[in-house]
Amino acid sequence: MEFAKRMERLETGIFSKLAEVKARRLAEGKRVVDLSVGTPNIPPSETIVKTLLEAAADRSNYVYAISDLPELREAVATWYQTRYGVTLDPANEVISLLGSQEGLSHISLAVADEGDVVLVPDPCYPAFADGPRIAGAELYFMPQRPENGYIIDLDEIPEDVARRAKLIIVSYPNNPTTAVAPPEFYKKLIAFAKKYDIWVLHDNAYSELVFDGVHGGSFLAYEGARDVGVEFNSLSKTYGLAGARIGFCVGNRELVGKLAKLKSNTDYGMFIPFQKAAAAAITGDQSCVITTREAYEHRRNVLCDGLTEIGWPVDRCPSTMFVWAKIPAKFDDSEVFAMELIRRAGVIVTPGSAFGPSGRDHVRLALVQDEEKIHEAIAAIQESGILY
């Protein structure tokens, strides 16, 4: 018996490998500080949990949801208006996702046929590339270089590639580089998409985790954005709801409609109590968002400053829940360095190469541990002598 060829395009991924090494170390009774996977450990607010519990206690909420509750779509429209100054038609320009990862893995199926080009950042969140791979699309990687502040240079994309492209996926604030894009980038992106008839997917998972008083925005706030694309958003990090799998696709009605049609063939909608909790999260008191942002910002300061003090210079990153650090000069491969770091210090980080070839000389450290554990990691790295 055989399996589909498309499975050969997908990899098991570095996280399974790291999990194995971690399990082995723990079994040997050795210490581990895990800064690899971006699983948030800041819990949802009291109000969100209360709404979820009340809805979960109502037995009529265990039916198939099939589609979004009108109250959820309206809540998303209100949220986009108040938070980003973007007006959305709740009936046609909003659809929920079972986590934005689900939408990322499906949207290319709605846009690209086998062999069509999808433009993907390098380095990038792995699902940006895996979704198009599942669809059988040809990937063209757009480098995000440190010398350009990690912002994609659209002028570098060859004309023939742009002409064959059906979809461009971009995301700022960016995982893993932590870059935040300036308004000029979005204006150029919209003009580029219009010139070549390419759909845009902007993933805005980290708009609320921008630090140092800078305010994150929305792609849809730019003129013409809605003509060419959609934005994905996620409640995973902002509201501590990662396990509930709540995301949204908003924007261009044609593209939202096509994704809705595709999803009507693949799932029966989001668990109703999650829908109610989501509406409560985005329309309720937003002080929990500030608390979450401050917690990540504080962890960022502790980690970046602490690493710099011990001789691993790492600038304070401007956004997200990650730190993107250049590996020490004596290493030239992020995976080799990451494995050595586990072996010698018990600190688990993600090799930059897991996000694409451009990440080869970086590692990503997730701010998913509290301050005490971060100090423990810094001390362990210093004691290991791995930096020199």
Q: Is 278 in the site for ligand PLP (CB under 6 A)?
A: no
Minimum Å gap between C-beta 57 and ligand PLP is: 25
**Shortest approach of ligand PLP to residue 306 CB, angstroms?**
24
Number of H helices, E strands in the chain: 13, 12
Query: Does residue 217 interact with ligand PLP by CB under 6 A?
Result: no
Per-residue x/- marks for ligand PLP, 297-326, CB under 6 A?
A: ------------------------------
Number of residues in contact with ligand PLP, rule: CB under 6 A?
Answer: 13
Whats the size of the chain, residue-wise?
388
| Contact with ligand PLP (CB under 6 A) among 99, 121, 132, 352 | 99
Distance set, CA 75 to CA 68, 69, 175, 206, 281 (Å): 11, 10, 27, 19, 9
38 near ligand PLP, judged by CB under 6 A? yes
Q: E-strand spans in 189-313? A: 199-203, 229-234, 247-251
Tell which residue, 170, 166, 165, 161, has the closest CA to residue 122: 170
- Do the Cβ atoms of 199 and 166 come closer than 8 Å? yes
Rounded to a whole number of angstroms, the minimum distance from the CB of residue 67 to ligand PLP is: 19
Closest CB to ligand PLP among 234 and 319? 234
Please tell me whether residue 175 binds ligand PLP under the rule CB under 6 A: yes
3-state SS, residue 307? helix
Tell me whether residue 232 or residue 312 sits nearer to ligand PLP (CB atom).
232
CB of 129 to ligand PLP, least distance (A): 12
Cβ proximity to ligand PLP: between 242 and 314 the closer is 242
- Determine if 207 is a binding residue for ligand PLP (CB under 6 A): no
Residue 136 CB, shortest distance to ligand PLP, in Å, is 22
For residues 314 and 385, the answer to whether their CB atoms sit within 8 Å is no
Write out the H or E segment, with its range, that includes residue 138: strand 138-143
Among 44, 90, 121, 247, binds ligand PLP (CB under 6 A): 247
C-beta closer to ligand PLP: residue 37 or 91: 37
Binding segment for ligand PLP among 4-12, 99-107, 210-218, 311-319 (CB under 6 A)? 99-107
Give SS3 for 139: strand
**Per-residue binding letters, 101-130, with ligand PLP (x by CB under 6 A):** x-----------------------x-----
User: Shortest approach of ligand PLP to residue 89 CB, angstroms?
Assistant: 23
Task: Give the single-character DSSP code of 210.
Answer: B
Distance CA 147, CA 150 (A): 7
Nearest to 384 by CA among 351, 332, 335, 347: 347
- The answer to whether residues 65 and 271 touch, using CB atoms and an 8 Å cutoff, is yes
Do the beta carbons of residue 280 and residue 47 sit within 8 Å?
yes
CB of 372 to ligand PLP, least distance (A): 24
Characterize the bridge pairing of strands 165-170 and 229-234.
unpaired
Nearer residue to ligand PLP within complex by CB, 137 or 241: 241
Report the residue number, 238 or 386, with the smaller CB distance to ligand PLP: 238
Query: Three-state SS across 348-371?
Result: ECEEHHHHCHHHCCEEEEECCCCH
Considering only residues 225 through 244, tell me which ones interact with ligand PLP, judged by CB under 6 A: 234, 236, 242
Question: Which positions touch ligand PLP (CB under 6 A)?
Answer: 38, 99-101, 125, 171, 175, 203, 205, 234, 236, 242, 247
